[in-house]
Amino acid sequence: MGTTPLGPFQVKRDGDRHAVHRNVGIGTLSFKVTTADSNGAFLVAEIAHHAKGGPPRHLHRHQDEWFHVIEGEYIVEIGDERYLLGPGDSAFGPRGVPHCWANVSEGPGRITFVFAPAGQAEAFFLEITKANAMAPTDPAFWLSFEMALVGPPLKAESPSRF
């Protein structure tokens, strides 16, 4: 990979790198740093949630993923570990380890994801937002993005039952 030909840039709290907001059914996805911005080194995406829930259990074959909660509460499962994350908390999911997460907030939630290297993560998000929904539960869909669907979504249960 060469050096990034771009200069510095800023993305506001509710902004997107290219001023486009994409619906994932339970919230709005925005890109903070795109694959092109980092020459594929990493991708930063954020979902601002207006409803509870999250994606099915899956794994990334070639990307590590870091989860960082900005607002609300999230349950994040990585392998056999389960974490309740609040604002400022984060968790790391190594490549090849099944994981999933769910927004369990009573109000709005906001979570940031960093994928390294970027791989096909941006293409995956662009594809799922065409349907204005979370990712489909068809295992074949995930394969073309170097990912595998390995289980159902978490129940967006109350953190008190955690």
- CB distance 29 to 96 below 8 Å: no
Whole domain around residue 82: which residue ranges? 22-148
Evaluate whether residue 15 is within a structural domain. Answer: no
Evaluate whether residue 154 is within a structural domain. Answer: no
The closest alpha carbon to 146, from 64, 60, 58, belongs to 60
Please give the tally of structural domains in the chain: 1
Count CB neighbours of 111 within 10 A: 24
pLDDT of residue 157: 72
The closest alpha carbon to 24, from 42, 50, 5, belongs to 50
Query: φ and ψ at 32, to 5 degrees?
Result: -100, -40
For residue 125, is it left (φ>0), alpha (ψ between -120 and 50) or beta?
alpha
Give strand pairing partners of 65: 93, 115
Residue 37 carries which DSSP code?
A: T
Evaluate whether residue 91 is within a structural domain. Answer: yes
- CB distance 89 to 72 below 8 Å: no
**Residue whose token pair is 């790391």:** 92
Can you list the alpha helix ranges (DSSP code H) found in 48-132? Answer: 121-128
pLDDT per residue, tens digit, the chain (162 aa), is 555 567 899 999 999 999 998 999 999 999 999 999 999 999 999 999 999 999 999 999 999 999 999 999 999 999 999 999 999 999 999 999 999 999 999 999 999 999 999 999 999 999 999 999 989 999 999 999 999 999 999 987 766 555
Evaluate whether residue 3 is within a structural domain. Answer: no
pLDDT of residue 113: 98
**3-state class percentages of the chain: helix first, strand second, coil last, to nearest 5:** 10, 40, 50
pLDDT of residue 47: 97
Q: What is the CATH number of the domain that holds 97?
A: 2.60.120.10
